[in-house]
Amino acid sequence: MLRIAVQSKGRLFDDTMNLLSESDIKVGASKRTLLVSAQNFPLEVLYLRDDDIPQSVATGVADIGIVGENEFVERGAEAEIIRRLGFSKCRLSLAIPKAENYTGLSWFNGKKIATSYPVILKKFLADNNLNAEIHVITGSVEISPGIGLADAIFDIVSSGSTLVSNNLSEVEVVMKSEALLIGYPGMSEEKRQILDEMLFRFEAVRQAEDKKYVRMNAPKDRLEEIIDVLPGLKSPTVIPLADNNWCSVHTVLDEKRFWEIIGKLKELGAQGILVTPIEKMIL
């Protein structure tokens, strides 16, 4: 049985549970139970505070964990980074009151900065030869300048709406963060085999992101031109139709270029274009 530490609430919890669900790992989310077993996979989920996850994995209380890179770096726990997961993206930034005239990093000299990430901030200040006072605070860091507790803040920024509502301006991005899958270095071979199966499922879900399965009827006299337009994984599937002048073409398209390519296909005479989402894709 593999044990994974997961944040007990918040955006990272939602994204993690979605990933497990899309990987067909069924876990009941209970607010009152700290340890829950999956129904169809040798996995048990340990719900923890985000700042407890790195140490829990580093000490072997959990075999693996999903945690924000910001918390992993801040805690400095000796766990293995297994994979970057690409979701729950945010950044750690310095922000100051909008009314201030920001002149560059030197502005922070002699200032008081409120943060929940003193380790990362201390290193940034040292690397840039800045002399500022760090005021450690948990919870609503963004209100600190407004109540006179600090001159600036160093905190997580996602959409930036919280800064705007507190009359703050983001002036320096110190680090970017995303969800990490971390692991206990001393994990047994048996547990690593379970982990490999989970990673295989995660990769199948990731490969399907922003991909569409496209089927169309294509005139045979334009088939080569149509195939040249399609950026398929290898080569599109071509199937004969009852009408010898036509064939059916199946392929996978990236959503980013979807409408551009569909427009070209229509110009080349493709008809009956059918588009369906892809849940999983195994390469």
* C-alpha closest to that of 204 among 282, 271, 110: 282
For the chain, the distance separating the N- and C-terminal CA atoms, rounded to the nearest angstrom, is 27
Q: How many CB atoms lie within 10 A of CB 104?
A: 8
pLDDT at res. 101: 94
CATH class of 90-177: alpha beta
pLDDT attached to residue 63:
97
| Every domain of the chain and the residues it spans | 2-87+178-207, 90-177, 210-277
Q: How far apart are CA 232 and CA 226, in angstroms?
A: 11
* pTM confidence score: 0.81
* pLDDT for 232: 57
CATH of domain 2-87+178-207: 3.40.190.10
At 169, list the tokens.
Answer: 């301006």
Answer CATH for 210-277 from 3.40.47.10, 3.30.70.120, 3.50.40.10, 3.30.565.10: 3.30.70.120
3-state secondary structure 19-36: HHHHCCCCCCCCCCCCEE
Two tokens, residue 17: 């549970």
Instruction: Tokens for 126, please give them.
Output: 């040292």
90-177 and 210-277, same CATH topology:
no
What is the reported pLDDT for 120?
Answer: 97
Asked if 74 contacts 192 with a C-beta cutoff of 8 angstroms, the reply is: no
User: Mean pLDDT per segment of 10 residues, for the chain of length 283 residues?
Assistant: 92 92 84 83 94 95 96 94 94 95 95 96 96 92 92 92 92 96 95 96 87 91 90 79 93 85 91 88 75
Q: What integer pLDDT is reported at residue 257 of this predicted model?
A: 82
The CA-based dihedral angle spanning residues 67, 73, 78, 79, taken in that order and rounded to the nearest 10 degrees: 30
